[in-house]
Homo-oligomer: A and B are copies of this chain.
């Protein structure tokens, strides 16, 4: 049993080591895919970025496409978090907070999301499996939230699904430059201002009250 315990520990350690290496490769791949696009990236470049020999990649991923799918998979977490937050909004202040947090994309995940979104643009499988499913989840939660508020009279008689879609669009407009790598991520102050503006626009519109 002691021997077994030891070998189990060894196996665990090895698996950890392997998993860690896998993550390093994915991070390297995401960085380069995000920069040059999947199709224009060579496995040699990925290997170099991950500080590995080319052949070693194939001990971790069956082929180049698996690498892409794994990167797209890893883009999941931030969108998941956004979806979770969306369903727990209670009041105006809560809404601002949620928007504010959603604007705080963790920098290391940027490359994953950028890769996924860029590929979704031309790759139907990526689009269906990742973008549609995950954005769909966010959209459904937002729609449900809006439907409730319309029912309880807080919101006007608006189309909840369309409104949810437009809200996602506003988000996109704000996050896109950062995702594209054109501007640095907004800092905490900027996020608060953006969040308040978005929520203000969304709740109150832009007309002067009474006009």
Contact = CB atoms under 8 A, between A and B. Distances in A.
Interface of A: 34-37, 39-40, 114, 117-118, 120-123, 127, 132, 146, 153-156, 158-159, 162-163, 165-166, 168-174, 176, 180, 182, 194, 197-198, 200-209, 211
A170 B174 contact: no
A123 B166 CA distance: 27
Contacts of A182: 127, 132
The interface centre, meaning the residue of A36, A114, A173, A209 with most chain B CB atoms within 10 A of its CB, is A173
Contacts of A120: 180
B155 A206 contact: yes
B35 A122 contact: yes
B121 A197 contact: no
A121 B113 CA distance: 12
A123 to B, nearest CB: 8
Contacts of A122: 34-37, 40, 118
A106 B207 CA distance: 32
A18 to B, nearest CB: 16
Given A159-B197, A166-B198, A203 B206 contact: yes
